[in-house]
Amino acid sequence: MKWYHYIAAFFAGALLANAVPHFINGVSGNPFPTPFANPPGKGLSSPIVNVIWACLNMLAGYILLRVSKTTTKNNLAMLVLFLGILAISILSSIAFIDKVKL
């Protein structure tokens, strides 16, 4: 695999993982932040916007996954894919953290 296949795998993992909270909140009827909210990423978007955003993330993630040529036989490509999942998951957990009183 070429170097750009690994970059595509990383971003495929990030986009596919990013789709999860938007899709779950959207189909549950809950508002959730999207880049289209006011202010972007902090305000709440409607459930329909979240479902559409999740589907766009899934489509782009799928396309990048195909471009990356990632297979379960290539351990490095799988690692990079999961690093993309891990990166966006950690960033999301920080961005959407609730202020908890200890």
Query: For 26-81, how does the pLDDT look when each residue is reduced to its tens digit (9 = 90+)?
Result: 999 999 999 999 988 788 999 999 999 999 999 999 999 999 999 999 999 999 99
pLDDT (mean) for 10-31: 97
* Average pLDDT value for residue range 12-24: 97
Query: Which pLDDT belongs to residue 97?
Result: 80
Residue 39 phi, psi dihedral angles, 5° rounding: -75, 155
Q: Is 100 inside any structural domain?
A: no
Residue 23 placed within a domain: yes
Cα–Cα distance for residue pair 89/83, rounded to 1 Å = 10
CA dihedral defined by 21, 81, 94, 57, rounded to 10 degrees?
Answer: -40
**Please, which pLDDT band fits residue 95 given cuts at 50, 70 and 90?**
confident
* Residue 24: inside a domain: yes
Phi, psi of 53, rounded to the nearest 5 degrees: -60, -40
Q: What pLDDT score does 80 carry? A: 97
Q: Is residue 101 part of a domain?
A: no
Each residue's pLDDT tens digit, 79-92: 999 999 999 999 99
Q: What is the pLDDT of residue 57?
A: 98
Domain range spanning residue 7? 3-95
Tell whether 102 is covered by a domain: no
How many structural domains is the chain composed of? 1
Amino acid at 99: K
